[in-house]
Amino acid sequence: MKARIITSVAVVGALAVVACNQDLTKSPLTPTQASFSVNPAACSYPAMRTSAAAYLTDVRAMNELITAMSRAVGQANIDAAGFNILTALAAAADAGAPTVKGTPADGSTFANAVLGCMDVAGYTGPIDFSGSFGSGIFEVRDGSGNSPVTSHLLDGGAPAFGAEPSTGNWPLAGKTLFYGTLLNLPTLGNDAAAGDNFELSTLPSGLTFSPEIKAGVCTLTDPNGRILHLHASDPGVILPPVSALSFCPVTSVSTPAGSSLFAAAANRLASWFAPAAANAASTRAFKLGGGGTGLVGGLSKIGPVSYTSTMAWVVKPGNTSRSKNPQFTPVVTVRNGSAGGNALKSATITLIVSTNNGSFTITGNTAVTDASGIATFPNLKINKPGGYTMTAVSELGGSVSTFFNIDGH
């Protein structure tokens, strides 16, 4: 790393030492992947100070952090100082006015100026953080705490969406920047949106979380909606509900305007939704737990959807013999998905059979769907010969049927 020489100048007989914050370039690194390297021309502490001044009302404390970063020796120390600045930047974005005077685009410029002097896996150039500084998420976390990452509502409202550990502290090895953007998509994975949807990412990028973290929204427009986790390509996974997010302020369900329950809820919510009229809450459904949250091991597009459960055979039960063990080969499997084509995870599927040959016993006929929406029945067995109609029924709705025979051998 190189810097211009510190210049000593005499001013009115006194010797003043002026430490010039000059453009710094990084020494060549040997990254584990080429994409991890940082463009040497990207690091400019003067640019960092300028962008801080454009975004923040008072830059004195931030300039001290920038000075500490500029004086840090070694990339690890530079990165640690950079995360300190990003943490302070996140706190300023949370506070909003009067701490912040600039636009979300100004915040994005400042964040990129800081990251330009850091070596963080996955950062190879400017990222548009504008949405993250608007109604999105911009937070730094590590494994030492469990504070959630939540969306900004700079008008004094409550967070609308976010994520938090499902148990204990964040499962993170080091400092991590979470950044997310409100998407406002009318559909997600071909199913109708049932509330806010957002895209959440991290730097370092490509992290997986074990145990899985809890992500979701505070409001649903459909009280029966569930969170869809949409990966890079369809289909996505509609997740089973888990407990409510800790930062969501509401635990009641929506009630038509004019009822006593609604009136009480509106009064409680007035401070959260100011300056909107309290009766605006009548268009939303608030639910404790329910479909507003789900567990995810990685990050991408997330949001609640309204869905219709559908069933389809993957492997139908074929004609077989009563004495075979296993009785059905290949193993009977069925898929439970949404009308939009997304998988329904952790749904209980029951196989129901009917016959004209009197009583019989069926075992091994319940299973739970995996992340692909597939339920597998390896121990399915029926103890009596005959012709049967088998129907696979999902607890979430939908069924599919087929006919087969069991002979007496």
Same structural domain, 342 and 375: yes
> What is the tens place of the pLDDT at every residue in 237-279?
999 999 889 988 755 444 333 333 333 333 333 333 333 333 3
The mean pLDDT of 336-345, rounded to a whole number, is: 96
Determine, yes or no, domain membership for 217.
yes
Residue 235's pLDDT band (cuts 50, 70, 90): confident
Q: What pLDDT sits at residue 250? A: 58
Kindly report which listed range (67-71, 216-220, 261-265, 343-347) carries the lowest average pLDDT score. Answer: 261-265
One domain, residues 31 and 127:
yes
Quick check: is 280 in a domain?
no
- Read off the pLDDT of residues 370-405 as tens digits, 9 standing for 90 and up: 999 999 999 999 999 999 999 999 999 999 999 999
Whether residue 360 is contained in a domain is answered as: yes
Q: Percentage of the chain surpassing pLDDT 70?
A: 78
Amino acid 309: pLDDT = 97
Query: According to the model, what pLDDT value does residue 156 have?
Result: 59
Pair (108, 174) in one structural domain: no
Position 128 scores a pLDDT of 97
Out of 59-63, 80-84, 246-250, least confident range: 246-250
Provide the pLDDT for residue 155: 57
**Does residue 302 share a domain with residue 314?**
no
pLDDT of residue 8: 31
- List the domain range (segments joined by +) for residue 329: 309-407
Q: Give 47 or 276, the one with higher predicted confidence.
A: 47
157 shares a domain with 80: no
Per the prediction, the chain carries an average pLDDT of: 82
Residue 346: which CATH number? 2.60.40.10
Asked if residue 116 is part of any domain, the answer here is yes
| Predicted confidence (pLDDT) per residue in 137-181, tens digit | 999 999 999 999 999 875 557 899 999 999 999 999 999 999 999
Residue 184 belongs to some domain of the structure: yes
Task: Dump pLDDT digits (tens) for 110-145.
Answer: 999 999 999 999 999 999 999 999 999 999 999 999
Highest mean pLDDT among 21-30, 104-113, 259-268: 104-113
Final residue belonging to a domain, choices 238, 273, 307: 307
Structural domain count of the chain: 3
In the predicted structure, residue 21 carries a pLDDT above the cut 90: no
Query: Are 97 and 157 in a shared domain?
Result: no
The lowest-confidence range among 74-88, 124-138, 219-233, 262-276 is 262-276
Q: Is 273 a member of any domain?
A: no
Residues 359 and 342 in one domain: yes
pTM of this structure = 0.79
**247 and 216 both lie in a single domain:** yes
- pLDDT at residue 233 in the model: 62
Q: What is the pLDDT of residue 234?
A: 63
Residue 263 inside a domain? The answer is no
Residues 226 and 193 in one domain: yes
Residues 76 and 218 in one domain: no
| pLDDT value of residue 6 | 29
Give the pLDDT score at 271: 31
**Are residue 188 and residue 108 in the same domain, yes or no?**
no
Do 337 and 298 sit in the same domain of this protein?
Answer: no
**Residue with more model confidence, 327 or 290:** 327
Please check whether residue 275 lies inside any domain of the structure: no
- Which residue would you say has higher pLDDT here, 321 or 24? 321
Structure confidence at residue 205 (pLDDT): 95
The pLDDT of residue 7 is 32
**Alpha-carbon dihedral angle through residues 34, 36, 42, 46, given to the nearest 10 degrees:** -160
* CA pair distance 148, 140, nearest whole angstrom: 10
